[in-house]
């Protein structure tokens, strides 16, 4: 249930093997998009770090850093939307020369269409500015439903630009579970998600979040990539989320 601005995009196999992740993101779980949307007239600041837990075969250990802003843009209760922009760096001239990425999402919350209707979301992210390099151009659809006591389950599908994703396997499932552990504290949240596909963004991720204030939280997570030859070695992630106002 985290609200952040995140999308990791990969750029050519050589660059990915030596440089690592790249993303530009909408409101997400830990790695994949969620059906959450930034509230109207609110601004979200996300500061995400992805630190490699080991070096690749060449001894290089590239990390990724993402500074993102996401804004809620629709004043309606039943249909909501957000747009965002990210500035991402990897310590590589090839990637850092085109550091701007865009994302957007339209969604309906649970129960908005009819009694017990699921949340629905369609959107896109990873819209980079360098053709067939940083333009992942991932589009997706998601359905989510909260089961009492158990938590929220989400499922969907995505497709992207095979050239930027470094694989003809440019599509796959989106799956997640998340829950606020109110039995312990309303400030504690857990999440697990999976993005299918043997490409530059396929990954299994898990983590926990703690809300230090009503509008400030931090996620601590771990990302296991489906194809390390394309996406690089696994990463430990910290994601600081701040909402204004």
Residue 145 lies in a domain: yes
Asked whether residue 20 carries a pLDDT value surpassing 90, the answer given is no
The closest alpha carbon to 101, from 55, 134, 57, 139, belongs to: 134
Per residue in 70-113, pLDDT (tens digit) is 999 999 999 999 999 999 998 776 778 899 999 999 999 999 99
Residue 6 lies in a domain: no
Kindly write down the DSSP assignment for every residue of 158-172, as one continuous string.
EE--HHHHTSS--EE
The closest alpha carbon to 44, from 8, 101, 74, 85, belongs to: 85
**Rounded CA separation 238/48 (Å):** 6
pLDDT of residue 2: 52
Residue 19 lies in a domain: yes
CB 8 within 8 A of CB 21: yes
**Rounded CA separation 245/243 (Å):** 6
Residue 8 lies in a domain: no
> Domain of 188: which CATH number?
2.40.160.40
Per residue in 149-195, pLDDT (tens digit) is 999 999 999 999 999 999 999 999 999 999 999 999 999 999 999 99
| Structural domain count, the chain | 1
What are the φ/ψ torsions at residue 31 (nearest 5 degrees)? -120, -45
Residue 7 lies in a domain: no
Task: For the chain, give the percent of residues with pLDDT over 70.
Answer: 87
Rounded to two decimals, the pTM is 0.89
Per residue in 128-161, pLDDT (tens digit) is 999 999 999 999 999 999 999 999 999 999 999 9
Q: Within 13 Å and on the Cβ side, how many CA atoms surround 216? A: 2
Task: For the chain, give the percent of residues with pLDDT over 90.
Answer: 79
**Rounded CA separation 139/124 (Å):** 4
**Residue 232: in which H helix or E strand, if any?**
none
Structural domain for 45, as ranges? 13-244
Residue 181 lies in a domain: yes
Asked whether residue 213 carries a pLDDT value surpassing 70, the answer given is yes
Token pair of 217, please? 């939280």
Alpha carbon 96 to its chain centroid, in Å, reads 19
The closest alpha carbon to 109, from 1, 241, 219, belongs to: 1
Residue 4 lies in a domain: no
**Rounded CA separation 74/82 (Å):** 8
Token pair of 168, please? 């003809």
Residue 1 lies in a domain: no
pLDDT of residue 11: 33
């Amino acid at each position: 249930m985290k609200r952040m601005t995140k999308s990791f995009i990969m750029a050519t196999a050589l660059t990915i093997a030596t440089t690592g992740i790249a993303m530009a993101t909408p409101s997400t779980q830990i790695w994949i998009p969620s059906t959450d949307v930034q509230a109207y007239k609110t601004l979200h600041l996300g500061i995400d770090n992805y630190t490699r837990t080991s070096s690749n075969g060449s001894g290089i250990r590239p990390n990724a850093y993402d500074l993102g802003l996401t804004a809620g843009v629709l004043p309606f209760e039943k249909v909501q939307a957000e747009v965002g922009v990210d500035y991402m760096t990897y310590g590589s001239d090839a990637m850092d020369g085109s550091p701007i990425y865009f994302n957007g999402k339209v969604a309906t919350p649970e129960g908005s269409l009819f009694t017990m209707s699921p949340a629905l979301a369609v959107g896109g992210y990873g819209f980079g500015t360098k053709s067939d390099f940083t333009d992942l151009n991932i589009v997706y659809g998601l359905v989510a439903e909260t089961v009492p006591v158990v938590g929220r389950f989400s499922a969907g599908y995505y497709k992207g630009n095979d050239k930027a994703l470094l694989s003809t396997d440019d599509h796959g499932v989106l799956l997640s579970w998340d829950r606020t552990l109110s039995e312990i504290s309303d400030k504690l949240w857990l999440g697990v998600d999976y993005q299918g596909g043997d490409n530059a963004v396929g990954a299994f991720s898990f983590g926990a979040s703690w809300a230090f204030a009503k509008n400030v939280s931090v996620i601590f997570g771990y990302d296991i990539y489906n194809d390390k030859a394309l996406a690089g070695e696994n990463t430990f992630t910290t994601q600081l989320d701040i909402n204004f106002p």
